[in-house]
Amino acid sequence: MSFGHVHNLRSERCVVCSRRYSCAVTSADFPRYPLGSAAGEPDPSVPRAGLFIALEGGDGAGKSTQIKRLARGLAQGGLEVLTTREPGGSDLGERLRNLVLDPQFAPVDPRTEALLFAASRSSHVETVIRPALERGAVVITDRFLDSSVAYQGAGRGLGTSVIRDLNAWAVHGVMPDLTVLLDVSAATGRQRRSTRAEDRMEQESQDFHHDVRQAFLALAQDSPQRYLVLAADQPIPVLAQQISERVTQLLAERNLGDQAAAGRSTP
Ligand SMILES: Nc1ncnc2c1ncn2[C@@H]1O[C@H](COP(=O)(O)OP(=O)(O)OP(=O)(O)O)[C@@H](O)[C@H]1O
Ligand SMILES: Cc1cn([C@H]2C[C@H](O)[C@@H](COP(=O)(O)O)O2)c(=O)[nH]c1=O
């Protein structure tokens, strides 16, 4: 099956070749992940082989810590698990990451910044995430589209809807089944990362990071089905347990792998 052409069923245009109606692709070739709804939710009518989980939150919220624990538990249950991150995740994306986070380029024009994050994401989706989901893997990403809405849309003041639309185009309908928001205050986040050098985004002011936090919370409120919001100042094992429970439930709904796997606690 070719996934080269992606039909936007609303405009009836192929989003790859832009042809209306006349594209050679038939309904049998439609990908599993067409453009999602306007709200950026996965299209529930489309069968999905794998499971896509994103961890979001402010810098220092504890995303990487939780991803490691979750991935370990799932892999022990025999599932194929792919952990990845944004910006980055693909060869090209990692190059873009180095550029967009490098303090030597500060200040970066906000639109340029938004496009660089979106370009990294598009490459990440097409070369890493979509193929893994097609194989039936569980993909866990450290940040995804909602980071752009929060940091560029709200933090930079570019507007959340324009950034969501830009990125909806970039991801061709691939949206997380579950987004875990580790909600952390700007002050706690800064304190937790005080032992390491800050990248260009982390160097932003407390006010900037406060706006980002509020934007994440608003996104979660808009999509309660997709979001699990957790207070990030809870102990690491307590957070891990809450995430595991939600993922176990999702795996059961999808009939994926050993459904008990996500619930296994890891030391
Ligand atoms: N629940 C927690 N309570 C206290 N400290 C934590 C907690 N979770 C993580 N930490 C610590 O906070 C620091 C940042 O954690 P981690 O790297 O997982 O965060 P992150 O969200 O991935 O950060 P960033 O987005 O900046 O890469 C680490 O030193 C980690 O050990
Ligand atoms: C995906 C994405 C990220 N950012 C910001 C958020 C962080 O400050 C850095 C990434 O660093 P991390 O240690 O890997 O969390 O980039 C952003 O502004 N917009 C985005 O789309």
Interface predicted TM-score (ipTM) of this complex, two decimals: 0.99
Count of Cβ atoms closer than 10 Å to residue 230 Cβ:
21
What is the reported pLDDT for 48? 65
The pair phi, psi for residue 39, each rounded to 5°, is: -80, 0
Q: How confident is the model at residue 255, as a pLDDT? A: 85
Q: Is domain 2-8+27-254 classified as CATH 3.40.50.300?
A: yes
Q: Is 60 in the pocket of ligand 2 (CB under 6 A)?
A: no
Residue 117 Cβ < 6 Å to ligand 2: yes
Q: How many helices (H) and strands (E) does the chain have?
A: 9, 7
Question: What is the reported pLDDT for 229?
Answer: 98
Contact 233, 184 (CB under 8 A): yes
Q: Whose atoms come closest to the Cα of 195: which ligand?
A: 1
What single DSSP character describes residue 28?
Answer: G
Separation between Cα atoms, residue 44 and residue 25, nearest integer Å: 22
Q: Is the pLDDT of residue 251 over 90?
A: yes
Q: Residues forming the annotated binding site?
A: 57-64
CA of 231 to the centre of ligand 1 (A): 13
List residues forming the annotated binding site for ATP.
57-64
Task: Centre a 10 Å sphere on the Cβ of residue 42 and count the other Cβ atoms it contains.
Answer: 18
pLDDT band at 264 (very low <50, low <70, confident <90, very high): low
Look-up: residue for tokens 């900037």? 208
Q: Ligand 1 within 6 A of 58 CB?
A: no
* Nearest residue by C-alpha to atom 30 in ligand 1: 62
Here the tokens at position 240 are 């891990």
- Cα 59 to middle of ligand 1, angstroms: 8
Q: pTM of whole model > 0.95?
A: no
